[in-house]
Amino acid sequence: MIATRFTEEFGIQYPIVQGGMQWVGRAELVAAVANAGALGFLTALTQPTPEDLVKEVGRCQDMTDKPFGVNLTILPSLKPIPYEEYRQAIIESGIKIVETAGNNPAPHLPDFKAAGIKVIHKCTSVRHGLKAESIGCDAISMDGFECAGHPGEDDVTNLVLLPVARDKIKIPMIASGGFGDARGLVAALALGAEGMNMGTRFMATQEAPIHGNVKQQMVENTELATELIFRTLRNTARVASNSVSREVVGIEAKGGATIDDLADLVSGQRGRKVFETGDTEYGIWSASGVQGLINDVPTCQELVERIMQEAGEIIQGLQIATTTV
């Protein structure tokens, strides 16, 4: 048991979050995370329509009585996404915690607040965190340079980013990026966060709805097995190292590549197929260096219990070290 402002204000047993992950954040995983006492998020845009999202929330509610949330990632898109309808689907489903990511969530806040929904906004910089606080978000989830997916362009690691953010931002902060075990949880709390987010680590669980080959690949991969793509487009993403991501890095290294040049290689549908077929070389999929800390594929319950158990032991060890003469 570790009590923080996050566990208290959000009513979650443990200070562990499984934030939004495209194609991964489905009911099976989110319900398992919730049942384990942590906070999971369904990913709204993994569902093709708002109606499908309503059904997915219902499926998850059928599998757990504990709180869970929905991630709404707001991105510029060629094909317009009906964000208002997704938002309405979230509200009508009875969800009480939303994780927003991408663009400024301000347009969505009045409706969420009116529905009594708490909003955690994902940020990659102190500046974005201050903005999220100023517009009324209830918490931030701060992504350091080490995170899978989009770390922003500042390249500030969580070891520095979290305490700097803590000194300037008052609302609860979830530490995100590079976290996969109890050592990370205690570090996150020491650095000023009220909880930690795990993405990559939750992908390598029994309940994650992705092919076993992908989980096994993460077990085998080391901390070095990531690539940063889209650096040259100033839309950096950290993804698992494979032939496709390395090809993208190679094309970008030559200079002048546009998103059109890379569109086929980085198609989200290819990433989705990786998860469905287990062909880890087929497309781009997000993962962090936390792969180097993954040695098994436990259930979410086993993972969360192990982390909480070991975190208690680490804190006990620190306490003993401070009292030893």
Output the 3-class SS for 227-272.
Answer: EEECHHHCCCEEEECCHHHHHHHHHHHCCCCCHHHHCCCCCHHHHH
CB 54, min distance to its own copies, A? 36
Q: How far apart, in whole angstroms, are the C-alpha atoms of residue 146 and residue 292?
A: 12
Binding mask 71-110 for its own copies (x = CB under 8 A): ----------------------------------------
Please tell me whether residue 183 binds its own copies under the rule CB under 8 A.
yes
| Amino acid identity at 312 | G
Q: How far apart, in whole angstroms, are the C-alpha atoms of residue 104 and residue 187?
A: 29
Q: How far apart, in whole angstroms, are the C-alpha atoms of residue 127 and residue 108?
A: 20
Please tell me whether residue 159 binds its own copies under the rule CB under 8 A.
yes
Please tell me whether residue 191 binds its own copies under the rule CB under 8 A.
yes
CB 314, min distance to its own copies, A? 6
CB 5, min distance to its own copies, A? 10
| Under 8 Å between Cβ of 93 and 72 | no
| Of 76, 80, 255, 256, the one binding its own copies by CB under 8 A | 255
Could you give the residue ranges of the DSSP H alpha helices within 67-193?
83-92, 109-114, 126-134, 158-168, 182-190
| Under 8 Å between Cβ of 14 and 3 | no
Binding mask 219-238 for its own copies (x = CB under 8 A): ---xxx---x----------
Looking at beta carbons only, is 164 or 265 nearer to its own copies? 164
| Of 75, 135, 190, 233, the one binding its own copies by CB under 8 A | 190
CB 273, min distance to its own copies, A? 28
Please tell me whether residue 160 binds its own copies under the rule CB under 8 A.
yes
Please tell me whether residue 324 binds its own copies under the rule CB under 8 A.
yes
Please tell me whether residue 173 binds its own copies under the rule CB under 8 A.
no
CB 204, min distance to its own copies, A? 15
Looking at beta carbons only, is 90 or 182 nearer to its own copies? 182
Q: How far apart, in whole angstroms, are the C-alpha atoms of residue 291 and residue 222?
A: 6
Q: For residue 158, give the 3-state DSSP assignment.
A: helix
Q: How far apart, in whole angstroms, are the C-alpha atoms of residue 16 and residue 193?
A: 11
Strand segments, DSSP code E, in 25-110 are: 39-43, 69-74, 97-102
CB 208, min distance to its own copies, A? 20
CB 237, min distance to its own copies, A? 14
Residue with tokens 């969800």: 95
Total residues at the site for its own copies (CB under 8 A)? 55
Phi–psi pair at 170, nearest 5 degrees:
-95, -30
Q: How far apart, in whole angstroms, are the C-alpha atoms of residue 112 and residue 28?
A: 25
Please tell me whether residue 257 binds its own copies under the rule CB under 8 A.
no
DSSP bridge partners of 121:
100, 140
DSSP bridge partners of 176:
143, 197
Please tell me whether residue 156 binds its own copies under the rule CB under 8 A.
yes
Please tell me whether residue 288 binds its own copies under the rule CB under 8 A.
yes
Please tell me whether residue 179 binds its own copies under the rule CB under 8 A.
yes
Residues that bind its own copies (CB under 8 A): 1-4, 126, 144-146, 154-164, 166-167, 177-179, 181, 183-184, 186-187, 189-192, 222-224, 228, 255, 288-290, 292-293, 311-312, 314-316, 318-319, 321-325
